[in-house]
Amino acid sequence: MSVSPASPSHSEPFEDEHVSASACPACIAAPSAEQMAKSGDIKGARIMLSLPTAHCAVCITDVERELMKQPGVKSARVNLTLKRASVDAAGDVEPAGLIAALDKIGYEAHELDPGMLSATEADKRGRDLLMRMGVAGFAMMNIMMLSIAVWSGAQDSTRDLFHWISAAIALPTTIFAGQPFFANAWASLRGGRLGMDVPISLAILLALGISLFETMHSGAHAYFEAATMLTFFLLVGRYLDYRTRAVARSAAEELAALEVPRATVLRDGEEVTVPVSELVPGDLIRVRPGGRIPADGEVTEGQSESDRSLLTGESLPVQVLPGMALSAGEVNLTGPLTLRVTAAGRDSSLHRMADLVAMAESAKTKYTSLAERAARAYAPIVHILSFSAFCAWAWITGGDFRLAVNIAAAVLIITCPCALGLAVPAVVTAASGKLFRKGLLIKDGTALERMAEIDTVVFDKTGTLTMGAPRPQNLSDLSPEALSVAMALAEGSSHPLARALHEAAAVQGGVPATLSDLREVPGYGVEGVWQGQRVRLGRANWIGAAEGATTATHLAIGETTPISIRFADTLRTGAEEAVAGLKAQGKQVWLVSGDVEGAVSDLAARLGIDTYRAGALPAEKAQLVSDLTQQGHRVLMVGDGLNDTAALAAAHVSVSPASALDAARTASDIVLLGKDLAPVSDAASISVRARRRIKQNFGISIVYNIIAVPLALTGLATPLMAALAMSASSITVSLNSLRLR
């Protein structure tokens, strides 16, 4: 049965949880995809799958259709923004079957623990701000039309009528739309602080109070338009600021959710499936080929190969033999294994890495932006100026509190931090748009500011500077017969080198030879019989070949001398330009990897990177970033793997490719949307220009206050004039920010 995600009948059984579509480039590019992304997840879904390679509307349709074909699946919904599939299925449906079905149609999937992801859903605050901003803007335009009639000469009862109508619009509007400021101001006062929302709320309430008083006493001037205009522009700044921060999610929760929620335990010789939380040291667990290791343990039975690339960055699978220690998160590749658990749950290596990320994220939230520092200095000055104006004018006029309140309100409005509030988010929004067009998505509001401060860049190797896909380098050395035999043997294995060899041979027009007795020997390679001779493809010590310094597999045909097939990783597009561009800007460039010395030094020499470190474990990568930071450097970390997550979170600012694991992508501040790495260098230069523009905006705000505040203090500006001046400064700041585009 096929399912259309846009079909009303499909959405009926679900209770949608709305999400922000802004984080997804495909949603922005395709309105239909955005609608689909907003459709949300299935609430209470039993199975959650991570889909790191899903990126467009076609992906949604393909994945949902394939999942719905599986027996026992009642409903399936893909959330493109979060790159997850939520599946409501019968109790006997196993996630492994769904993952295998998606793998057949070309989609990578990982099981997630739904319980660990409850706090990562997008919230409603953005839509709430947007709604209040719309209400304030609509009311402002209507009140301005009534004010124009008053300014055109309406007198007496006609003027009073317009004022009352304005009051009827402005009072409920500002009470509703201004709630974010009122609530924050009240919270600040209860905490004994004077935050920026306190003078904002005072200005709005004073403008309303004065206007209501004037209207009740048939006064000539009311300032309802000033109150709504003030509220509208303040909400614009608040919404822009929110948008720059909204897409960030908790990396620690994503990382924790990647832990396999169930394990197969051997009890009295029988396999029993239990939650990982029930594993204890000493349990025997069975891990089949293709499965992820659920806990740290020691191999007691079986031979295989393990993919540690997510944990260590090492591109070549490691041979696994009895007695070896494996870590939670590794992937068993070729043969079934039995492990004795040594550490599970919160004691496992994967969970310790999650703790590292959480600690690093906590340190990063202490960063104080330029706007926050400016606000701290600005808030007390506003209160002092307004209160001083009230006292001075009450004393000068001999107790004319009506005039004193008017002038105090004008001071509050004219000093209202609209321009200050727009100075940073307007620039960040403009710079984010420019970088998005270059293929970079800014996730954190302060990322650009932090990017402008970097002087050191640390690159990961596998999956970042390289594509993480090995390619055979010397297939031309093989005779046509040897190539056919190698291709046929490679067909019988899911090993990454075997798959790469088969693909490359197919591109060269190779035809697999006909073999008999083909079988894979876990941990060693593949063997078969060709024309009466035994043929093997695999490790050097199994084939009888000499070990080389580079990554290679070896082919033996009968008793002939084995042939070594060498592999090299493919350089990512734009890697050379990115490194050269950053060095030209005076940045110090590092290469750090969990891979072996030879592979890392070769790549460093190829890219002109003078400083590198090989064989680095995840904690060592994070420690390197911390050490550089303690030496006074501002570090940009560029990485993609689970082993980079702690370093990404610990760095001053971080970038990961869109192809990175969810946890790494979530820990980073900026996501590289395409395969080209060159925009990383552009981001560094654009961030410097953005920071310069932010400082210009602060300069405009300061000049505006130097000119306008004396006018308000001397009684030359009414609250309406103050609101217009404040609006003019906000528009000037916005236009200056747009020059960055």
Catalytic residues: 460
Tally of CB atoms within 10 A around 72: 13
Q: What is the rounded distance in angstroms from the CA atom of residue 474 to the CA atom of residue 552? A: 10
With CA atoms as reference, report the closest residue to 85 among 71, 97, 67, 105. Answer: 67
> For residue 26, which amino acid is it?
A
Task: Return the SS3 of 468.
Answer: strand
**For the residues of 128-170, what is the DSSP string, one character each?**
HHHHHHHHHHHHHHHHHHHHHHHHTT--HHHHHHHHHHHHHHH
Helix (H), strand (E), coil (C) string for 280-325: CCCCEEEECCCCECCCEEEEEECCEEEECHHHHCCCCCEEECCCCE
SS3 217: coil
314/317 Cα distance (integer angstroms): 8
SS3 54: coil
Find the Cα–Cα–Cα–Cα dihedral 388, 391, 397, 403, rounded to 10°: 80
Q: What angle, 0 to 180 degrees and rounded to 10, lies between the N-to-C axes of helices 418-437 and 679-713?
A: 160
DSSP assignment of 229-291, as one string?
Answer: HHHHHHHHHHHHHHHHHTT---HHHHHHHTS-SEEEEEETTEEEEEEGGG--TT-EEEE-TTP
Residue 611 is given by DSSP the state: E
- At position 430, the amino acid (one-letter code) is A
- For the chain, helix, strand, coil in percent to 5 are 50, 15, 30
Name residue 488's beta-bridge partners. none
H or E element, residue 48:
strand 47-50
Tokens found for residue 264: 């197969």
Q: Side chain identity at 596, as an amino acid letter?
A: V
Nearest to 478 by CA among 537, 528, 529, 526: 537
| Token pair listed for 679 | 């925009």
